[in-house]
Protein backbone atom coordinates (compact mmCIF):
# COMPACT_ATOMS: atom_id res chain seq x y z
CA UNK A 1 0.00 0.00 0.00
CA UNK A 2 1.17 3.54 -0.74
CA UNK A 3 1.54 5.81 2.20
CA UNK A 4 3.64 7.52 4.81
CA UNK A 5 5.06 5.46 7.66
CA UNK A 6 6.20 7.04 10.88
CA UNK A 7 7.99 5.22 13.66
CA UNK A 8 7.95 4.79 16.52
CA UNK A 9 4.35 5.64 17.31
CA UNK A 10 5.17 6.29 20.96
CA UNK A 11 8.54 7.37 22.32
CA UNK A 12 9.76 8.37 25.74
CA UNK A 13 12.88 10.46 26.11
CA UNK A 14 14.91 11.39 29.11
CA UNK A 15 15.92 14.98 29.45
CA UNK A 16 19.25 15.63 27.74
CA UNK A 17 18.86 12.88 25.17
CA UNK A 18 18.55 13.19 21.42
CA UNK A 19 15.90 11.11 19.70
CA UNK A 20 15.22 10.47 16.03
CA UNK A 21 11.78 10.02 14.52
CA UNK A 22 11.59 8.08 11.29
CA UNK A 23 9.46 9.01 8.29
CA UNK A 24 9.30 6.95 5.09
CA UNK A 25 7.02 7.46 2.10
CA UNK A 26 6.44 5.33 -0.98
CA UNK A 27 4.24 7.82 -2.81
CA UNK A 28 7.10 9.09 -4.98
CA UNK A 29 6.54 12.56 -3.55
CA UNK A 30 9.25 15.17 -3.89
CA UNK A 31 8.28 17.35 -0.93
CA UNK A 32 8.28 16.27 2.69
CA UNK A 33 7.44 18.11 5.90
CA UNK A 34 7.57 17.83 9.67
CA UNK A 35 4.91 19.46 11.82
CA UNK A 36 4.49 19.59 15.56
CA UNK A 37 1.12 19.68 17.34
CA UNK A 38 0.59 20.53 20.99
CA UNK A 39 -2.71 19.75 22.75
CA UNK A 40 -5.50 22.05 21.59
CA UNK A 41 -3.20 23.74 19.13
CA UNK A 42 -2.79 23.83 15.41
CA UNK A 43 0.09 22.29 13.50
CA UNK A 44 3.35 24.22 13.38
CA UNK A 45 5.97 23.66 10.70
CA UNK A 46 9.39 22.49 11.87
CA UNK A 47 11.24 21.71 8.62
CA UNK A 48 10.40 21.04 5.01
CA UNK A 49 12.24 19.62 2.03
CA UNK A 50 11.46 20.19 -1.63
CA UNK A 51 13.98 17.73 -3.05
CA UNK A 52 16.68 15.30 -2.01
CA UNK A 53 19.68 16.85 -0.25
CA UNK A 54 17.83 20.10 0.36
CA UNK A 55 15.75 21.24 3.34
CA UNK A 56 14.63 24.49 4.88
CA UNK A 57 13.71 25.66 8.36
CA UNK A 58 10.10 26.20 9.16
CA UNK A 59 8.60 28.36 11.88
CA UNK A 60 9.91 26.43 14.90
CA UNK A 61 13.18 24.76 13.80
CA UNK A 62 15.23 25.54 16.90
CA UNK A 63 16.25 22.35 18.71
CA UNK A 64 15.49 20.12 15.73
CA UNK A 65 17.53 18.76 12.82
CA UNK A 66 16.68 16.80 9.68
CA UNK A 67 18.32 15.10 6.72
CA UNK A 68 17.08 14.20 3.25
CA UNK A 69 19.55 11.75 1.79
CA UNK A 70 16.89 9.71 -0.01
CA UNK A 71 13.67 10.78 -1.67
CA UNK A 72 11.69 8.36 0.46
CA UNK A 73 13.09 9.31 3.85
CA UNK A 74 13.01 12.43 6.00
CA UNK A 75 14.05 11.67 9.59
CA UNK A 76 13.68 14.25 12.35
CA UNK A 77 16.06 14.47 15.29
CA UNK A 78 14.81 16.15 18.43
CA UNK A 79 17.93 17.38 20.20
CA UNK A 80 18.51 18.16 23.83
CA UNK A 81 18.41 21.84 22.86
CA UNK A 82 14.65 21.57 22.34
CA UNK A 83 13.37 22.72 25.72
CA UNK A 84 9.81 21.48 25.51
CA UNK A 85 9.75 18.51 23.13
CA UNK A 86 6.69 16.68 24.45
CA UNK A 87 4.24 16.82 21.52
CA UNK A 88 2.60 14.95 18.65
CA UNK A 89 4.91 14.94 15.61
CA UNK A 90 3.48 14.63 12.13
CA UNK A 91 5.37 13.83 8.97
CA UNK A 92 3.76 14.72 5.66
CA UNK A 93 4.50 14.68 1.97
CA UNK A 94 3.24 16.14 -1.29
CA UNK A 95 4.04 15.81 -4.95
CA UNK A 96 5.52 19.28 -4.87
CA UNK A 97 5.17 22.49 -2.96
CA UNK A 98 1.59 23.82 -3.15
CA UNK A 99 0.22 20.36 -3.88
CA UNK A 100 -2.06 18.44 -1.54
CA UNK A 101 -0.27 17.36 1.62
CA UNK A 102 -0.85 13.92 3.09
CA UNK A 103 0.05 12.94 6.62
CA UNK A 104 1.52 9.93 8.33
CA UNK A 105 -0.08 8.56 11.48
CA UNK A 106 2.14 10.60 13.77
CA UNK A 107 4.56 9.95 16.60
CA UNK A 108 3.93 10.82 20.22
CA UNK A 109 7.04 12.00 22.06
CA UNK A 110 7.05 12.35 25.82
CA UNK A 111 9.92 13.63 27.91
CA UNK A 112 10.24 11.84 31.26
CA UNK B 1 3.31 35.95 11.35
CA UNK B 2 0.68 34.74 8.89
CA UNK B 3 -2.42 34.00 10.89
CA UNK B 4 -5.29 31.62 10.39
CA UNK B 5 -8.25 32.18 12.67
CA UNK B 6 -10.92 29.63 13.50
CA UNK B 7 -13.52 29.58 16.23
CA UNK B 8 -12.33 26.85 18.60
CA UNK B 9 -15.85 25.75 19.48
CA UNK B 10 -17.14 23.32 20.39
CA UNK B 11 -19.79 23.75 17.73
CA UNK B 12 -22.70 21.52 18.60
CA UNK B 13 -25.28 20.54 15.97
CA UNK B 14 -28.00 17.91 15.99
CA UNK B 15 -27.75 14.92 13.70
CA UNK B 16 -29.04 15.71 10.23
CA UNK B 17 -28.41 19.46 10.51
CA UNK B 18 -25.96 21.62 8.57
CA UNK B 19 -22.68 22.43 10.30
CA UNK B 20 -20.95 25.64 9.23
CA UNK B 21 -17.26 26.09 9.95
CA UNK B 22 -15.50 29.37 9.27
CA UNK B 23 -11.92 30.48 8.78
CA UNK B 24 -10.17 33.76 8.09
CA UNK B 25 -6.56 34.15 7.01
CA UNK B 26 -4.10 37.01 6.87
CA UNK B 27 -1.79 36.04 3.99
CA UNK B 28 -3.24 37.80 0.93
CA UNK B 29 -1.07 35.82 -1.49
CA UNK B 30 -2.53 32.44 -0.49
CA UNK B 31 -4.01 30.79 -3.57
CA UNK B 32 -4.97 27.33 -2.38
CA UNK B 33 -6.89 26.26 0.67
CA UNK B 34 -7.43 22.94 2.37
CA UNK B 35 -9.77 21.52 4.98
CA UNK B 36 -8.64 18.61 7.11
CA UNK B 37 -10.54 16.56 9.67
CA UNK B 38 -8.72 15.33 12.75
CA UNK B 39 -10.12 12.83 15.21
CA UNK B 40 -8.75 12.92 18.74
CA UNK B 41 -5.29 11.38 18.88
CA UNK B 42 -5.12 10.82 15.13
CA UNK B 43 -3.42 12.55 12.23
CA UNK B 44 -5.30 14.99 9.96
CA UNK B 45 -7.07 13.61 6.92
CA UNK B 46 -7.89 15.67 3.86
CA UNK B 47 -11.54 16.56 3.29
CA UNK B 48 -11.22 18.88 0.34
CA UNK B 49 -9.31 21.66 -1.32
CA UNK B 50 -10.46 24.86 -3.00
CA UNK B 51 -8.54 27.22 -5.24
CA UNK B 52 -11.08 29.57 -6.85
CA UNK B 53 -13.60 31.98 -5.42
CA UNK B 54 -17.05 30.50 -5.00
CA UNK B 55 -18.35 27.13 -3.93
CA UNK B 56 -16.99 23.64 -4.40
CA UNK B 57 -19.11 20.64 -3.52
CA UNK B 58 -17.98 17.10 -2.74
CA UNK B 59 -20.70 14.83 -1.40
CA UNK B 60 -22.00 16.23 1.88
CA UNK B 61 -19.22 18.82 2.02
CA UNK B 62 -19.16 22.27 0.43
CA UNK B 63 -16.18 24.59 0.65
CA UNK B 64 -16.66 28.30 0.04
CA UNK B 65 -13.87 30.76 -0.73
CA UNK B 66 -13.83 34.55 -0.85
CA UNK B 67 -10.30 35.78 -1.45
CA UNK B 68 -11.28 39.46 -1.29
CA UNK B 69 -12.58 38.94 2.24
CA UNK B 70 -9.83 36.42 3.07
CA UNK B 71 -12.48 34.00 4.19
CA UNK B 72 -13.01 30.30 3.63
CA UNK B 73 -15.73 28.09 5.05
CA UNK B 74 -16.83 24.47 5.13
CA UNK B 75 -20.43 23.34 5.22
CA UNK B 76 -21.33 19.81 6.23
CA UNK B 77 -24.85 18.78 5.24
CA UNK B 78 -26.78 15.99 6.95
CA UNK B 79 -24.27 15.94 9.80
CA UNK B 80 -23.60 12.53 11.34
CA UNK B 81 -22.18 11.62 14.76
CA UNK B 82 -19.14 10.27 12.90
CA UNK B 83 -18.44 13.84 11.74
CA UNK B 84 -17.61 14.77 15.33
CA UNK B 85 -13.98 15.84 15.12
CA UNK B 86 -11.75 18.89 14.90
CA UNK B 87 -11.70 20.61 11.52
CA UNK B 88 -8.51 22.35 10.48
CA UNK B 89 -8.38 25.15 7.95
CA UNK B 90 -5.06 25.41 6.09
CA UNK B 91 -4.19 27.97 3.44
CA UNK B 92 -0.94 27.54 1.57
CA UNK B 93 1.46 30.29 2.61
CA UNK B 94 4.55 30.31 0.46
CA UNK B 95 6.08 26.90 0.96
CA UNK B 96 3.77 24.91 3.20
CA UNK B 97 0.35 24.75 4.76
CA UNK B 98 -0.32 27.19 7.57
CA UNK B 99 -2.83 25.66 9.97
CA UNK B 100 -5.46 27.22 12.17
CA UNK B 101 -6.05 25.76 15.63
CA UNK B 102 -9.19 24.07 14.42
CA UNK B 103 -12.88 24.06 15.26
CA UNK B 104 -14.22 21.22 17.37
CA UNK B 105 -17.52 19.88 15.99
CA UNK B 106 -19.91 17.76 18.03
CA UNK B 107 -22.84 16.14 16.28
CA UNK B 108 -25.42 14.94 18.76
CA UNK B 109 -27.77 12.03 17.98
> Which of B109, B94, B103, B107 lies closest to B36 in space, CA to CA?
B103
| Whole-number pLDDT of residue B87 | 97
Span A91-103, average pLDDT = 92
> Which of A72, A103, A76 lies closest to A22 in space, CA to CA?
A76
pLDDT tens string for chain B (109 positions)?
Answer: 679 999 988 999 999 999 999 999 998 888 899 999 999 999 999 999 999 999 999 999 999 999 999 999 999 999 999 999 999 999 998 788 999 999 999 999 9
Measure B44 CA to nearest chain A CA, in Å: 7
Best of B5, B7, B39, B44 to mutate (most A CBs within 10 Å, chain A): B44
Pairing of strands B54-58, B61-66: antiparallel
**What residues contact A86, with CB distance under 8 A and at least 6 apart?**
A109, A110, A111
Please answer yes or no on whether B92 and A90 come within 8 Å at the CB atom.
Answer: no
Question: Does the CB of A98 have a partner CB in chain B at under 8 Å?
Answer: yes
Contact between A105 and A9 under an 8 Å Cβ cutoff? The reply is yes
**pLDDT confidence band for A1 (50 / 70 / 90):** low
| β-bridge partners, B93 | B96
**Which residues of B fall within a CB distance of 8 Å from A104?**
43
Please answer yes or no on whether B99 and A103 come within 8 Å at the CB atom.
Answer: no
Span A37-47, average pLDDT = 92
CB atoms within 10 A of CB A39: 7
**pLDDT confidence band for A112 (50 / 70 / 90):** confident
Amino acid sequence: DGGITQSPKYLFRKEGQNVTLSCEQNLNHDAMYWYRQDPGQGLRLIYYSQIVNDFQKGDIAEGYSVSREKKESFPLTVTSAQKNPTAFYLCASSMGLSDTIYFGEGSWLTVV
Amino acid sequence: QKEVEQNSGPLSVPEGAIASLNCTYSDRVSQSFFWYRQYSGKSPELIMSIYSNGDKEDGRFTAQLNKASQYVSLLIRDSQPSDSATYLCAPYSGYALNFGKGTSLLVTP
